[in-house]
Amino acid sequence: MEFAELIKTPRVDNVVLHRPFYPAVEGTLCLTGHHLILSSRQDNTEELWLLHSNIDAIDKRFVGSLGTIIIKCKDFRIIQLDIPGMEECLNIASSIEALSTLDSITLMYPFFYRPMFEVIEDGWHSFLPEQEFELYSSATSEWRLSYVNKDFAVCASYPPIVTVPKSIDDEALRKVATFRHGGRFPVLSYYHKKNGMVIMRSGQPLTGTNGRRCKEDEKLINATLRAGKRGYIIDTRSLNVAQQARAKGGGFEQEAHYPQWRRIHKSIERYHILQESLIKLVEACNDQTHNMDRWLSKLEASNWLTHIKEILTAACLAAQCIDREGASILIHGTEGTDSTLQVTSLAQIILEPRSRTIRGFEALIEREWLQAGHPFQQRCAQSAYCNTKQKWEAPVFLLFLDCVWQILRQFPCSFEFNENFLIMLFEHAYASQFGTFLGNNESERCKLKLQQKTMSLWSWVNQPGELSQFTNPLFEANNLVIWPSVAPQSLPLWEGIFLRWNRSSKYLDEAYEEMVNIIEYNKELQAKVNILRRQLAELETEDGMQESP
Amino acid sequence: MEHIRTPKVENVRLVDRVSPKKAALGTLYLTATHVIFVENSPDTRKETWILHSQISTIEKQATTATGCPLLIRCKNFQIIQLIIPQERDYHDVYISLIRLARPVKYEELYCFSFNPMLDKEEREQGWVLVDLSEEYQRMGLPNHYWQLSDVNRDYRVCDSYPTELYVPKSATAHIIVGSSKFRSRRRFPVLSYYYKDNHASICRSSQPLSGFSARCLEDEQMLQAIRKANPGSDFVYVVDTRPKLNAMANRAAGKGYENEDNYSNIKFQFIGIENIHVMRNSLQKMLEVCELKSPSMSDFLWGLENSGWLRHIKAIMDAGIFIAKAVSEEGASVLVHCSDGWDRTAQVCSVASLLLDPHYRTLKGFMVLIEKDWISFGHKFNHRYGNLDGDPKEISPVIDQFIECVWQLMEQFPCAFEFNERFLIHIQHHIYSCQFGNFLCNSQKERRELKIQERTYSLWAHLWKNRADYLNPLFRADHSQTQGTLHLPTAPCNFMYKFWSGMYNRFEKGMQPRQSVTDYLMAVKEETQQLEEELEALEERLEKIQKVQLNCTKVKSKQSEPSKHSGFSISDNSIANTPQDYSGNMKSLPSRSPSQGDEDSALILTQDNLKSSDPDLSANSDQESGVEDLSCRSPSGGEHAPSEDSGKDRDSDEAVFLTA
């Protein structure tokens, strides 16, 4: 086992741990292949178990022979370890650095994790494309499942099974794939049962500078239009960026070749701009010294909320096209793996009541993020504290979760899950014992044999005992489309995630508990009353029977 | 009325603030107390009522082809834009409103004509609901250290103070009068709050007339007496809530602050809260941000920062926290003053009291707190809120800031307050509405002279009567959060203070969360209560039947009544929400008129609610999208709209807020 080589000092005594909201604890620090553990050996103090993969960056300091390691986690928590002995401290620090940046995915914890719970439902099979397809195949016969990508040859980032218009055969799909970025030909993302309109997504068309066209591509997307109807193409880049993309072989749909489609450019930022934004925001949240005005200006300068507003606005526009204009849409940016997915998935949250339930939301993540090939491995490799910035790191998924939280805040009774559910998903996307978010697409996951070798997050989450902590007590099924406000006044900072370690949530937690109590008590009474009513009814009929003969 | 040049104008357009192209056509009426706009649309006949006293500014805008636009900004943050077709009507309305919005005599104010159909006895009872002598008793006064002084009988010493004042027992009339001569407007140190647990107190006064070197033996003795009234501490904090620079500048005018060398055993402290002029400008700037049409996130955050509003809120909170800590943790008494001791001093004393004493966090206690620290101690309501036409430089959102501080605390301690956000919003509304007599005039003396209690009604009684609408469902008297002092973190948590869109954008309903957790929980609690009753009745009946059956007697039991209770369906009365303009400047969605407004949105209410003055209510009844209105399950059971005034008067937005 290679881990032993990386751990020079597996154990240090008399280490003092400082972390938010807990008194300092002295205890023994142990390093294992995947965890950093601090145990005080006292019953009443909580131990620290930290996944190495959750560590984003570390700093070390020395005062005399007392070393201090500051550990900055991907979930934004900062903890401090005071370690006596310079050598021990240096050893620990270098081990942590090595263990938290393992190159090989197969060395990650999910490959070693053995669940302590009994698996009732295997999450790897909870959301199969065939089952998802059945949900709307009763309403329409215009779509079919295609297995054209079953060996990932047509599109490396697509799953083996995709939904396409029935009238388009696999041969045509292969041709279209050559005309779309990364082979990502237009596929069905969402079918709006109310009016039969659809959201499709794809990569950018490879028109290049000489305006290349692809008849099959035009035919494919036109096949989704009703006679005489127009559709909208939402390009998540600005017109300028889209035009520049032509020089690199990319481009956008030209009006002349797509006369039935109207193009809308809704610019959403990408990559390092988002990563920088996150870094600045977390820095502002951690800065305890500045005054009120500096706080607001730093919040503003981070641009995080600007991105939230942009993404939500694009999603609302997409939903509006579908529900209000009665028009189908195609969404893409460049690759179609980031902003595209933010928009398609948020539009579904707005339009589709099912996606606001726990299972529906899980299915949405499975379909629109995991299967759709959002490169989690790349995007979530590092978080807000990392110094070595890689171009492909970006909090795309976190922005999506933040947007969902914004809608949840505006419609607190319309979601079956609560804020904790979103926070949990954020944590697992960045560091997890489960295999769900490993790899960049289905093809990689297949090669890694994740289904056989790791446990699915959904297997754990969907146990009744676990679900209760993620269930929103206020939930009342709401079958309507919900239109969020995107005014700046309506989009506050998500404190539950960004100020989580900077302010005590004691009073807010108490309020949540009180809310649960109020509702639980009501349900309890309801049940009691129902039982009594039934009893009474029975007695009264007995009464009647006794009387009647 | 003489000031109304034209009582009725037809074919006026009420512009939808959200999508300006959508304007409602209707008739505008000017009455002695209200501006009323009634939509022509026969199926809604929606009415918008604006009280003259709520009007803050009236602005004539550039005439367009459709007519002459008039922009009315209200003190409760409502903004109304009317387009009047004829230039002459336009001018008449403008001139009339200018006059109507600025009454010169108290008798012109609405409270003198407002009649909620209560008899004399009910009115009198309303005025004794909040009783300050009872409140001082509750604090444990008078006692060994503090006594009620009659020195200000007939307002002989200080005309802006009440007649009933508590002072240290050792402070003789001589000391009081001497001290009063050494204080601005003779506002000598008196008790504001007494902390039973450790005898520490919060006292208030105006600045001393110390200039560069003046002293006053009696004033020094007065502070000494305050110290002695607290055996637990050997010093008194003197908190000057002004920025040091302002206080020093006052010395040149013969005023200033206490010199630590002259007063024995005081600890002097500046807490820089800015003056009323800075605050007025700050609010102005913030409201400009709120008014922006489709601002970007940067516009908004930058504007909010630039207004300095939250910085000021934090300064007031910091002062309150400092005092609460001094009293509860150090056991030291505190004397608070600013310049005149009626603005910043009132803010800070009441914030500190609220932190210290759970009683002030109850519905009744909060009314008492405002009555005590604001009304009785001569906060100049008339000047600050411009009830009568006066010097615009006197106007300042002093109590608005206090109300916001309470909201900020409610956000931090969701279970600690018996009342909800709506309570605060309605109090703010009525401070400006002049519908009730409570907030009239600048002092108790003026109010007595005007015989306010005999001629007007009390807001407190009105709020108390409708208290079911103002309850916080998360409040529980035995909850740990409701006990004792509220402890805020000591670290400078700037992010604790947030923009209050529920207040400053409250007429932009689309910006607010579309489902109210408060209303939902209140409905659940109400149902729980019904269930408890039903459970009891069922158990009783069951027992009876079982007994009867045991006795083998056949008694025909009454058919069980079909229960009216049908679980929790929230199907009717739905507020639908419609998409706003998400397409920005794109001309791509021709079938909808794209609006500039970022805010949404047509909220659909039922007929009943359309009568209210809410600018967001649109007649577009699209029931298929949107969200069930949870507020319809308000504790009142949806039977009555707790409108602010017996149906006759629809000036306020309340009817919408409480959606029947």
ipTM of model: 0.94
Count other C-beta atoms under 10 Å from residue A22's C-beta. 12
Q: Rounded CA gap, A387 and A277, in Å?
A: 14
DSSP A383-447: -TT-SS--TT---HHHHHHHHHHHHHHHSTTS-SB-HHHHHHHHHHHHS-SSSTT-SSSHHHHHH
First-to-last C-alpha distance (Å) of chain A: 84
Maximum average pLDDT range among A42-46, A282-286, B275-279, B583-587: B275-279
**Cis before B142? omega within 30:** yes
Q: Say if CB A275 and CB A395 are below 8 A apart.
A: yes
Mean per-residue pLDDT for B170-175?
Answer: 95
Q: Which of A146, A147, A150, A145 is nearest to A133 (CA)?
A: A145
| Contact call for B538 and A533, based on CB within 8 A | yes
Query: Higher-confidence residue: A499 or B558?
Result: A499
Residue type, B570: I
Contacts of B212 (CB under 8 A, 6+ apart): B251, B256
Contacts of A537 in chain B (CB under 8 A): 560
Maximum average pLDDT range among A384-393, B16-25, B148-157: B148-157
Q: Give the one of B494, B576, B578 whose C-beta lies nearest to A292's C-beta.
A: B494
The answer, yes or no, to whether residue B191 has pLDDT greater than 90, is yes
- Quick one: pLDDT at residue A76? 96
Average pLDDT score over chain B: 84
The answer, yes or no, to whether residue B595 has pLDDT greater than 50, is no
**B341 annotated as belonging to a binding site for a ligand:** yes
- What residue in A sits closest to B482 (Cα-Cα)? A507
In angstroms, the separation between the Cα of residue A210 and the nearest Cα of chain B is 26
Q: Rounded CA gap, B405 and B413, in Å?
A: 12
Q: Give the one of B414, B588, B624 whose C-beta lies nearest to A508's C-beta.
A: B414
- Catalytic residue, chosen from B68, B290, B338, B441, is B338
| Contact call for A539 and B290, based on CB within 8 A | no
**B403 annotated as belonging to a binding site for a ligand:** no
Q: Which residues of A264-300 are buried (b: 16+ CB within 10 A; e: fewer)?
A: bbbbbbbeeebbebbbbbbebbbeeeeebbbbbbbbb
Q: Which token pair is B366? A: 């909060």
| Contact call for B560 and A540, based on CB within 8 A | yes
**B275 annotated as belonging to a binding site for a ligand:** yes
Query: Higher-confidence residue: A288 or B109?
Result: B109
Q: Which token pair is A143? A: 């779509």
Q: Is A150 exposed, middle or buried (0-12, 13-18, 19+ CB in 10 A)?
A: exposed
Q: Rounded CA gap, A515 and A512, in Å?
A: 5
Q: Rounded CA gap, A85 and A64, in Å?
A: 9
- What residue in B sits closest to A514 (Cα-Cα)? B474
Cross-strand partners of B471: B419
- Quick one: pLDDT at residue A450? 96
Query: Tens of pLDDT along B287-335?
Result: 999 999 889 999 999 999 999 999 999 999 999 999 999 999 999 999 9
- What residue in A sits closest to B525 (Cα-Cα)? A518
The answer, yes or no, to whether residue B411 has pLDDT greater than 80, is yes
Contacts of B420 (CB under 8 A, 6+ apart): B410, B470, B471, B472, B518
- Quick one: pLDDT at residue A264? 96
| Contact call for B598 and A503, based on CB within 8 A | no
| Contact call for A300 and B515, based on CB within 8 A | no
Cross-strand partners of A31: A36
Name the pairing type of β-strands B8-15 and B23-30.
antiparallel
Name the pairing type of β-strands B333-337 and B236-240.
parallel
Contacts of A300 in chain B (CB under 8 A): 297-298, 301-302, 305
Contacts of B474 in chain A (CB under 8 A): 511, 514-515, 518
Name the pairing type of β-strands A22-31 and A11-19.
antiparallel
**B342 annotated as belonging to a binding site for a ligand:** yes
Q: Which token pair is B336? A: 């608070």
The answer, yes or no, to whether residue B618 has pLDDT greater than 90, is no
Q: Say if CB B542 and CB A532 are below 8 A apart.
A: yes
| Contact call for B494 and A413, based on CB within 8 A | no
The answer, yes or no, to whether residue B566 has pLDDT greater than 60, is no
SS3 A306: helix
- Quick one: pLDDT at residue B580? 73
| Contact call for A507 and B534, based on CB within 8 A | no
Residue type, B230: N
The confidence band for B640, taking pLDDT boundaries of 50, 70 and 90, is very low
Active site residue B632: no
Q: Give the one of A412, A485, A489 whose C-beta lies nearest to B499's C-beta.
A: A489
Of A11-20, A289-298, B441-450, B462-471, the least confident: A289-298
Mean per-residue pLDDT for B441-445?
Answer: 96
**B340 annotated as belonging to a binding site for a ligand:** yes
Contacts of A285 in chain B (CB under 8 A): 495
Contacts of A490 in chain B (CB under 8 A): 501, 511-512, 599
- Quick one: pLDDT at residue B561? 40
In angstroms, the separation between the Cα of residue A513 and the nearest Cα of chain B is 10
- Quick one: pLDDT at residue A543? 65
In angstroms, the separation between the Cα of residue B439 and the nearest Cα of chain A is 31
Does residue A545 sit at the B interface (CB-CB below 8 Å)?
no
Interface of A with B in 475-514 (CB under 8 A): 476, 478, 480-483, 485-493, 495, 499, 502-504, 507-508, 510-511, 514
| Contact call for B582 and A320, based on CB within 8 A | yes
Does residue A174 sit at the B interface (CB-CB below 8 Å)?
no
Q: What does each of the 549 residues of chain A score in pLDDT, given as a tens digit?
A: 578 889 999 999 999 999 988 889 999 999 999 999 999 877 766 789 999 999 999 999 998 889 999 999 999 999 999 999 899 999 999 999 999 988 899 999 999 999 999 999 999 999 999 998 988 888 888 999 999 999 999 999 999 999 999 999 999 999 999 999 999 999 999 999 999 999 999 999 999 999 999 999 999 999 999 888 999 999 999 999 999 999 999 999 999 999 999 999 999 998 889 999 999 999 999 987 767 668 899 999 999 999 999 999 999 999 999 999 999 999 999 999 999 999 999 999 999 999 999 999 999 999 999 999 999 999 999 999 987 778 899 999 999 999 999 999 999 999 999 999 999 999 999 999 999 999 999 999 999 999 999 999 999 999 999 999 999 999 999 999 999 999 999 999 999 999 999 888 899 999 999 999 999 999 999 999 999 999 888 887 776 665 554
Query: Tens of pLDDT along B348-386?
Result: 999 999 999 999 999 999 999 999 999 999 999 999 999
Q: Compute CA distances B22 → B68, B124, B621, whole Å.
A: 16, 47, 14
